Chains A and B, each alone.
Chain A
Amino acid sequence: MHHGEYKTVGGKLVIADFSVQDGQLCDVSISGDFFLEPAEALQEINDGLNGMPTSATQDELAGAILDRLSPDVEMIGFSPEAVAIAVRRGIDES
């Protein structure tokens, strides 16, 4: 299992837990003390990251999340970029 954490400027912690198979992220679980409306959008964030290659840049990871999110989703205290940093750290530091 890979694990990466990133604390946003506002103080919220974003945590990424995932596995890697054939160079791709799988079983991604993003967690933390952020706020998200609606709550179900957490699955969209995880789904956006599943299948991304471990070679993806921070921008590419953030873009994959944005592509998946419904337009009415509000991320409060974190952002696609913050999630992407946590994931990158989980890839690089494990």
Chain B
Amino acid sequence: MTQKRTDWRDYDWQLIRGAPVPVEMNHALDEVLVRRVGAGKRPPTFRFWDRQGPEIVLGRFQSVRNEVQIENCEADGIRINRRITGGGAMFVEPENAVTYSIYAPPELVKGMGFADSYQYLDEWVIEGLRSLGIDAWYEPINDITSSGGKIGGAAQARRHGAVLHHATMAYDMASTAIPRYLRVGQEKLSDKGVTSADKRVGPLRLQTQMDRLDIIEHLIETFRQRHGLQDGQLTEDEVAEAEELVRTRFGTEEWRYLLP
């Protein structure tokens, strides 16, 4: 018998408000939590991230040398991390970004194409941003954008019987010019002639004048009202598993330089 697509309300969504952790730990937690949800060991989960420091985050399929100004990152103590999802490189500072992850059962997006599932899993965030007065919409495949400029991007991976969907939005302008850390080549710019207006960055602070934590609270409440949400936390076991994964995978040079 084929299983039907489920609805958000068919699950008891659990919220994790992450404490600031070493940057590699967030990527390890994504892996642990998608495993746990896939194995039915924890309910579908919604996590907001916090970080102890700045980081470069590469997409799973990006090469370090092609994307990163490695010497400048080393000189400034910027960690280079690789996430388990595809997509593009980012320079992220704790106070200038809003990042969340959704760990969902695959039945929630059953039968949907990838592009549709990105939009579907972020409908709540578009609603949340609009109710803050931001003229926001989804730009397929994975961009969250607005008339005031691009806000952020999402990435997905299907792993271990669950869907990981995470997104990072700009809260404020980066403190350092991004080209100091990331390479921006001519080919990357080649499609920006027509769409350049959409590619401006429209950070949330500029568009709302709100405090970063107030925006996060507002987004959590939007999710809660739309989909239902109970407060939860990481178990000791999950934290231990993630710490082990930092040691064996996410903190290693092999993983960072998986594509040199």
Contacts and interface: CB of A to CB of B under 8 A. Distances in A.
Contacts of B157: 37, 39
| Residue of A5, A6, A38 with most partner-chain B CB within 10 A | A5
Interface string A24-43: 00000111111111110010
Nearest to A42: B61
Contacts of B155: 35
A71 to B, nearest CB: 16
B112 to A, nearest CB: 12
B191 A33 contact: no
B185 A5 contact: yes
Nearest to B64: A31
B235 interface: no
B86 A35 contact: yes
SS class, residues of chain B in contact with chain A: loop
Contacts, number: 67
A15 B66 contact: yes
Interface string B46-87: 000000000000011111001000000000000000001111
A51 interface: no
Contacts of B88: 13, 33
Nearest to A74: B114
Contact of B141 (A5, A30, A31, A35): A35
A35 to B, nearest CB: 4
Contact of B86 (A5, A6, A9, A76): A76
A53 interface: no
A2 interface: no
Contacts of B156: 35
B187 A33 contact: no
A30 B66 CA distance: 11
B190 interface: yes
A16 to B, nearest CB: 10
A25 B187 CA distance: 23
Interface of A: 5-7, 9-11, 13, 15, 17, 29-39, 42, 74, 76-77
Interface of B: 59-63, 66, 84-89, 114-115, 140-142, 155-158, 185, 187-188, 190-191, 259-260
7 pairs of A and B residues whose beta carbons are closest in the complex: A33-B88, A35-B86, A5-B187, A31-B63, A76-B114, A31-B259, A7-B190
Given A33-B88, A34-B61, A76-B141, 17 more contacts: A5-B187, A5-B188, A7-B188, A10-B140, A11-B191, A17-B66, A33-B59, A33-B89, A35-B141, A35-B142, A36-B60, A37-B158, A39-B84, A42-B61, A76-B86, A77-B86, A77-B141
